[in-house]
Amino acid sequence: MATFFIRKLERFTKLSGDEKRALDEAVSRTTRQLGPREDFVQEGDKPRHISLIIEGWATRYKVLEDGRRQIIGFLLPGDLCDVRMFILKQMDHSIGTVSRAKIAEVPADTVISLTDTHPRLSRALWWNSLVEEAIQREWIVNLGQRDAFERMAHLFCELFIRLRAVGLTNDTSCQLPLTQVDLGEAMGISTVHVNRTLMDLRGAGLIVLKGKTCTIPDLDALQEAGLFNANYLHLDRDGRHLDTNEP
Amino acid sequence: MATFFIRKLERFTKLSGDEKRALDEAVSRTTRQLGPREDFVQEGDKPRHISLIIEGWATRYKVLEDGRRQIIGFLLPGDLCDVRMFILKQMDHSIGTVSRAKIAEVPADTVISLTDTHPRLSRALWWNSLVEEAIQREWIVNLGQRDAFERMAHLFCELFIRLRAVGLTNDTSCQLPLTQVDLGEAMGISTVHVNRTLMDLRGAGLIVLKGKTCTIPDLDALQEAGLFNANYLHLDRDGRHLDTNEP
DNA sequence: CGCTGTTTTGACTTCCCTCAAGCATGGTGG
DNA sequence: CCACCATGCTTGAGGGAAGTCAAAACAGCG
């Protein structure tokens, strides 16, 4: 159940069998199956529980009064929404699925008691939110400084590498359930321009899109095109010194 | 010493005299006076301590390989840099002053023992980082969806309201130590276009800039122009129920 | 097989960028 | 006290990246 989540946390520090079981149990208690394009957190809501993406993709987004919509981040399997958000009165953004998705809804108390009894887990969750913040910062750089071509290349790098970190790629390809409208709303460019930019990326041999499958023949080249530097994802086991010595 | 910081945290929950004294003491231990345009955190560094802005302004920023620079956020008096960053191996961005500034450098241990002994403080710091994240999200929306005019209006609203929250405005005006280059790097537009956009804002009577002083004659109008909604700053004392009952 | 949602393409417009030069400031030293 | 320079602001002209509108081609699915 919590496989992807655990895999991700272990990019920071190895967890004990106990910790993994505790996580898995907490996550398996309440799960929900959602259809595509279904919101499960609404701006204005009082945050109730902490959601974990078990399978499928979701987006965080905000909508302006006049209807313009900006995607703020993609939530992939293993991603957690709003670990500490529950101390706020209301959500300042919404979260909705892209594809069909399965999510776990963990009550705040469970998370608190989990981190109280397992300090290493607590650190791993800290790390997790630090990485989320770093991703948001990188999006700001992406939107502010890169042109459409670089921006798109950068996004594909981020998504591919994040998926790879939880084992959802095979060699050079991954599933990509996004439409060009989604891509436009994430990158702050019009749908038409998304299309032309994708053409350019394909023309340059940097990506191959066939149906919902995305292939990246040469990740290094794509990274270069997007001025992408994976540092900000902090995937190099910064919490190594905390590793459990159990197998 | 920690006046602005305390004022900010009390936008979430009232603190006890003890808590305030503890904060003030922690912050007064090591302070540093910095000149303008001086970096005090460098990308790639191992994060050592937690910095608090006591006076002056600073920016978080990232620089691309080819020199393009994006400001990711402004740090105002009372703002804290990287409460939990110390669990990471290296910083993924830099922080530098804008004007002359005074900062406190608090060791990680001090913060940990502080939050261990004062749970309310711990909540207040959570809230603080949640607000920081919310600001980053709003920047993504700003860069992705708003045009230069709206974008600039939105930024001025954010800065004014954040300054007001710590008591650094008088009525309709505040100090603004930023150059047009800074504004451009923050908003992802060229310096020339910053200038023209400021002209437009002035022409519309929305802002008045004289030297380093910024006056906003009609904040409501500016908010409307920037499609600004202050919700995301969570300044309405969400932690009211935790308030100390001391005076 | 037709419907709906997505992708592709073309023509035209607009916003913002670059380059380049001309002005204000204000601080420093002769 | 004024000349000087540095830094930041302002303005103009022309170009390019991305937006809008609109229609056609192409899925995928009941």
Which residues in chain B are closer than 8 Å to A239, comparing Cβ atoms? Answer: 87
Nucleotides of chain D within 7 Å of a protein C-beta?
7-13, 17-22, 27-28
- Residue B247 above 80 pLDDT? no
Q: Give the Å distances, CA to CA, from A45 to A78, B46, B116, B231.
A: 23, 38, 30, 12
Per residue in B83-131, pLDDT tens? 888 999 999 999 999 999 999 999 999 999 999 999 999 999 999 999 9
pLDDT for the residue B179? 98
Q: Nearest by CB to A238, which of B66, B87, B138?
A: B87
Identify the band that residue B43 occupies on the pLDDT scale cut at 50, 70 and 90. very high
In chain B, what is the straight-line distance between the N-terminal and C-terminal CA atoms, in Å?
A: 20
pLDDT for the residue A144? 98
Q: Does residue B227 sit at the A interface (CB-CB below 8 Å)? A: yes
How far is C-alpha A123 from the chain's CA centre? 19
Which residues in chain B are closer than 8 Å to A60, comparing Cβ atoms? Answer: 137
Q: Nearest by CB to B87, which of A66, A72, A126?
A: A126
Give the integer Cα–Cα distance in Å for A116 and A110: 10
> Which residues sit opposite A209 in a β-bridge?
A214
Q: Tell me which of A43, A50, A137, A185 to substitute to probe the interface with B (most B C-beta atoms closer than 10 Å).
A: A137
> C-alpha angle B244/B246/B247, rounded to 5°?
115
How far is C-alpha B146 from the chain's CA centre? 21
- Residue B152 above 80 pLDDT? yes
Identify the band that residue B138 occupies on the pLDDT scale cut at 50, 70 and 90. very high
Q: Does residue B234 sit at the A interface (CB-CB below 8 Å)? A: yes
Greatest pairwise CA separation for chain B in angstroms = 55
Is A165 in contact with A49 (CB distance < 8 Å)? no
Identify the band that residue B245 occupies on the pLDDT scale cut at 50, 70 and 90. confident
Encode B188-211: b = buried (16+ Cβ within 10 Å), e = exposed: bbeeeebeebbeebeeeebbeeee
Q: Does residue B72 sit at the A interface (CB-CB below 8 Å)? A: yes
- Give pLDDT tens digits along chain A (247 positions): 899 999 999 999 999 999 999 999 999 999 999 999 999 999 999 998 999 999 999 999 999 999 999 999 999 999 999 888 899 999 999 999 999 999 999 999 999 999 999 999 999 999 999 999 999 999 999 999 999 999 999 999 999 999 999 999 999 999 999 999 999 999 999 999 999 999 999 999 999 999 999 999 999 999 999 999 999 999 999 999 999 987 6
pLDDT for the residue B84? 83
Contacts of A15 (CB under 8 A, 6+ apart): A6, A9, A23, A120, A121, A124, A244
Q: Does residue A88 sit at the B interface (CB-CB below 8 Å)? A: yes
Please give the average per-residue pLDDT across B52-81, as a whole number. 97
Window A136-175, strand D contacts by Cβ < 7 Å: 147-149
Measured in degrees and rounded to the nearest 5, phi and psi for residue B111 equal -65, -45
Query: Nearest CA to B62 among B205, B220, B188?
Result: B188
Q: Nearest by CB to A87, which of B90, B127, B187?
A: B127
Is A87 within 8 Å of B136 when comparing Cβ atoms?
no
Q: Any idea which nucleotide's C1' is nearest the CA of A193?
A: D18
pLDDT for the residue A245? 84
Is B82 in contact with B90 (CB distance < 8 Å)? no
Per residue in B4-17, pLDDT tens? 999 999 999 999 99
pLDDT for the residue A116? 93
Q: Nearest by CB to A137, which of B68, B93, B134?
A: B93
Please give the average per-residue pLDDT across B193-209, as a whole number. 97
pLDDT for the residue B83? 86
Q: What is the mean pLDDT of chain B?
A: 96
Is B145 within 8 Å of A89 when comparing Cβ atoms?
no
Question: Beta carbon of A177 within 7 Å of strand D?
Answer: no
HEC per residue, chain A: CCHHHHHHHCCCCCCCHHHHHHHHHHHHCCEEEECCCCEEECCCCCCCEEEEEEECCEEEEEECCCCCEEEEEEECCCCEECCCHHHCCCCCCEEEECCCEEEEEEEHHHHHHHHHHCHHHHHHHHHHHHHHHHHHHHHHHHHHHCCHHHHHHHHHHHHHHHHHHCCCEECCEEECCCCHHHHHHHHCCCHHHHHHHHHHHHHCCCCEEECCEEECCCHHHHHHHCCCCHHHHCCCCCCHHHCCCCC
Is B226 in contact with B156 (CB distance < 8 Å)? yes
Please give the average per-residue pLDDT across B130-152, as a whole number. 98
